[in-house]
């Protein structure tokens, strides 16, 4: 595809493409080779103000559009995404850096979500219940809430906006969307396709700019009752504090420090494949990445040798080239952070088995590339085994049995994804019950969520909400209970028994 060069983009507010009120801009560049991708409005609270006013106004009509019709819009959107899948994937490989098969998967996830949530337009089930009184009818219905502020990271630039905006819309809410400043073009394309699908003015608005300005203004705004944020734990805490004064509904999907357990009876070929995919896919920049491997002592040496051999075979390069296994990380700050953890791991006494350095040569020095890195002899309390690195680094920890494996897996502040490789059904069920995480995989890595099941984590990964599946509807609606008394007289619940 033609990559965009220095094309200038705008915000989309109230059905029009407009510049930031300040007229200021910022540039998006490729993490792969520094190429210019586009120029975007550097917006501020004034732009958020306009977008929220538009979304608030549009809400009064959108909430009354029959939900099946709202769903049909999502079907059209799914169709457009499918038509544009290859172009979007190419753009993603350039703007965000992930390799093409994964970029296609990112877009596919949004297509799946659009069809799934489109179908919700004909469900959005409530409940009917018997009444304790004669001639009385009881039911509960889901109702939309209002303007939803959607704040997203750069690592799933099409999928994550879809997890938030599509359920919000089908439920009858309107949206102000702030994408990450590292991937604004993909956010922009997402909105362009919604507009093409027929979304009316004000129902979806996009305001580009930084978290401290645009994100913060959204969280503070009195007319935005709902915020859905995916990002780091630190941002989640800040947003929670900012929103507290107005008792906002805040949905947080935050970090992870996910582990794959490999027991002594595991199929090692499968485990190695699962670990390599989960630790180094998307250059380790997934909230569900396997940044820890917990290996039974009986298989530790063999597993570590296999992992190092596979990691060393991985080809670094541009995400759009067929032979590339691992693309760049997102920016210089990420590269510096990842390397600082290599130094931390060495200082802590872990053994650096492979990687641990910035990659260069063959044009890689124009971007941000880090060699797949494996640490061995890791103590579960070391910082490299506790803190989110968000890069292609994994820490292997040796344990003596399944009890210790589960204890180590749980011994972190996060609780997003978890995995165990074993052939023993008893130990697998034990893990399903006892791993403290929002997701557990048996004989698969830590990544691979499907859109019809709830997605999210326990402990510091979030605040109890989930996206995807039916659970998403709970966040983007509020329940109303309705009692219809057709007895013609005043009946008193709990009193007229
Ligand atoms: P980040 O927290 O820096 O930014 C996320 C978004 O929040 C961006 O759009 C940013 O501009 C905005 N933001 C930052 N400060 C803000 C503020 N004070 N108020 C409002 N908005 C603000 O995260 P990132 O670096 O873009 O993404 C990486 C993080 O996201 C990792 O911790 C990763 O684990 C997490 N993540 C979690 C999930 C999940 O589902 N649990 C999925 C993907 C990524």
User: What are φ and ψ of residue 99, in 5° steps?
Assistant: -70, 155
| Residue 387: Cβ-neighbour burial (10 angstroms; 0-12, 13-18, 19+) | middle
Asked whether residue 494 is assigned to any structural domain, the reply reads: no
Model confidence at 4: pLDDT above 70: no
Which of 124, 113, 112, 163 is CA-nearest to residue 466? Answer: 163
Q: Are residues 417 and 346 in the same domain?
A: yes
| Catalytic residue list contains 467 | no
Model confidence at 481: pLDDT above 80: yes
User: Residue 318: which domain range?
Assistant: 258-442
Give the tokens for residue 398.
Answer: 């040796």
The CATH number of whichever domain residue 310 belongs to comes to: 3.40.309.10
Asked whether residue 42 is assigned to any structural domain, the reply reads: yes
pLDDT in tens, 144-186: 999 999 999 999 999 999 999 999 999 999 999 999 999 999 9
| Catalytic residue list contains 387 | no
Cβ count within 10 A of residue 84? 18
Model confidence at 1: pLDDT above 60: no
Asked whether residue 457 is assigned to any structural domain, the reply reads: no
Distance CA 61, CA 79 (A): 25
Q: Are residues 218 and 283 in the same domain?
A: no
Q: Distance between terminal CA atoms of the chain? A: 72
Model confidence at 257: pLDDT above 60: yes
Asked whether residue 4 is assigned to any structural domain, the reply reads: no
Q: Which residues line ligand 1 (CB under 6 A)?
A: 151-156, 178, 180, 210-212, 215-216, 219, 229-232, 235, 238-239, 253-256, 287, 388, 390, 416, 457, 461
Q: Are residues 335 and 270 in the same domain?
A: yes
Rounded to 5°, the CA angle 464-450-144 comes to 50
Place of tokens 């990420």: 334
Q: Are residues 87 and 179 in the same domain?
A: yes
User: Which pLDDT does position 497 carry in this prediction?
Assistant: 77
pLDDT in tens, 311-356: 999 999 999 999 999 999 999 999 999 999 999 999 999 999 999 9
Nearest CA to ligand 1 atom 20: 215
Mean pLDDT of 48-55: 98
Give the tokens for residue 97.
Answer: 């850096």
The ligand 1 atom at the shortest distance from the C-alpha of residue 233 is 32
Catalytic residue among 95, 287, 310, 348: 287
Give the tokens for residue 99.
Answer: 């390799």
Q: Are residues 248 and 269 in the same domain?
A: no
Nearest CA to ligand 1 atom 43: 287
Asked whether residue 430 is assigned to any structural domain, the reply reads: yes
Q: What is the percent of the chain with per-residue pLDDT over 90, rounded to a whole number? A: 98
Q: Are residues 283 and 210 in the same domain?
A: no
Q: Which helix (H) or strand (E) holds 309?
A: helix 300-313
Q: Are residues 244 and 279 in the same domain?
A: no
Mean pLDDT of the chain: 97
The CATH number of whichever domain residue 183 belongs to comes to: 3.40.605.10
Q: What is the DSSP pairing of strand 414-415 with strand 36-41?
A: unpaired
Which of 165, 171, 166 is CA-nearest to residue 126? Answer: 171
User: Which pLDDT band holds residue 2 (cuts at 50, 70, 90)?
Assistant: very low
Q: Are residues 245 and 272 in the same domain?
A: no
pLDDT in tens, 258-300: 999 999 999 999 999 999 999 999 999 999 999 999 999 999 9
Q: Are residues 272 and 155 in the same domain?
A: no
Coil vs helix vs strand at 455: strand
Cβ count within 10 A of residue 154? 24
pTM: 0.97
Q: Are residues 322 and 249 in the same domain?
A: no
User: Which pLDDT does position 3 carry in this prediction?
Assistant: 58
Nearest CA to ligand 1 atom 44: 287
Asked whether residue 291 is assigned to any structural domain, the reply reads: yes
Give the tokens for residue 433.
Answer: 């019950």
User: What are φ and ψ of residue 29, in 5° steps?
Assistant: -125, 160
User: What are φ and ψ of residue 218, in 5° steps?
Assistant: -65, -45
Asked whether residue 448 is assigned to any structural domain, the reply reads: no
Asked whether residue 309 is assigned to any structural domain, the reply reads: yes
pLDDT in tens, 190-232: 999 999 999 999 999 999 999 999 999 999 999 999 999 999 9
Q: Are residues 199 and 341 in the same domain?
A: no
Q: Are residues 315 and 431 in the same domain?
A: yes
The ligand 1 atom at the shortest distance from the C-alpha of residue 467 is 40
Number of domains in the chain: 2
């Amino acid at each position: 595809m033609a990559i965009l060069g220095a094309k200038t983009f705008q915000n989309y507010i109230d059905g029009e493409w407009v510049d930031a009120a300040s007229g200021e801009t910022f540039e998006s560049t490729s993490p792969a080779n520094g190429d210019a991708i586009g120029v975007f409005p550097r917006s501020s609270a004034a732009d958020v103000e306009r977008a929220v006013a538009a979304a608030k106004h549009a809400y009064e009509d959108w909430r009354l559009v029959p939900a099946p019709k709202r769903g049909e819009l999502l079907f059209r959107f799914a169709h457009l995404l499918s038509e544009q899948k290859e172009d979007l994937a190419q753009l993603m490989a350039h703007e965000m850096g992930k390799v093409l098969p994964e970029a296609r998967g990112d877009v596919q996830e949004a297509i799946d979500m659009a069809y799934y949530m489109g179908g919700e337009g004909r469900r959005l089930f409530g409940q009917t219940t018997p009444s304790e009184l004669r001639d009385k009818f009881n039911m509960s219905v889901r109702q939309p809430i209002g303007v939803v502020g959607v704040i997203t990271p750069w690592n799933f630039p099409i999928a994550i906006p879809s997890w938030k905006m599509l359920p919000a819309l089908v439920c009858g809410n309107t949206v102000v969307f702030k994408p990450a400043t590292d991937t604004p073009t993909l956010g922009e394309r997402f909105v362009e396709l919604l507009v093409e699908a027929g979304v009316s003015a004000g129902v979806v608005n996009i305001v580009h700019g930084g978290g401290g300005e645009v994100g913060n203004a959204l969280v503070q705004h009195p007319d935005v009752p709902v915020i859905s944020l995916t990002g780091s734990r630190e941002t989640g805490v800040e947003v929670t504090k900012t929103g507290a004064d107005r008792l906002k509904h805040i949905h947080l999907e935050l970090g992870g420090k996910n582990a794959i357990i490999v027991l002594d009876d595991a199929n090692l070929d499968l485990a190695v494949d699962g670990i390599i995919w989960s630790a180094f896919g998307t250059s380790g920049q997934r909230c569900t990445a396997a940044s820890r491997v917990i290996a039974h002592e009986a298989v530790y040496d063999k597993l570590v040798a296999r992992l190092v051999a596979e990691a060393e075979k991985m080809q670094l390069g541009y995400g759009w080239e067929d032979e590339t296994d691992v693309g760049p990380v997102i920016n210089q700050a990420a590269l510096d952070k990842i390397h600082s953890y290599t130094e931390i791991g060495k200082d802590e006494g872990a053994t650096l088995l492979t990687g641990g350095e910035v990659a260069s040569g063959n044009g890689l020095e124009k971007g941000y590339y880090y060699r797949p890195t494996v640490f061995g002899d890791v103590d579960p309390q070391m910082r490299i085994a506790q803190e989110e690195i968000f890069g292609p680094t994994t820490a292997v920890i040796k344990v003596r049995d399944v009890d210790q494996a589960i204890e180590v897996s749980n011994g972190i502040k996060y609780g997003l994804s978890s995995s165990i490789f074993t052939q023993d059904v008893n130990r697998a069920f034990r893990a399903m019950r006892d791993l403290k995480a929002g997701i557990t995989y048996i004989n698969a890595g830590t990544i691979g969520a499907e859109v019809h099941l709830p997605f999210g984590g326990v402990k510091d990964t979030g605040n109890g909400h989930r996206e995807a599946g039916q659970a998403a509807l709970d966040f983007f609606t509020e329940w109303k209970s309705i009692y219809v008394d057709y007895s013609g007289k005043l009946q008193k619940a709990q009193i007229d028994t």
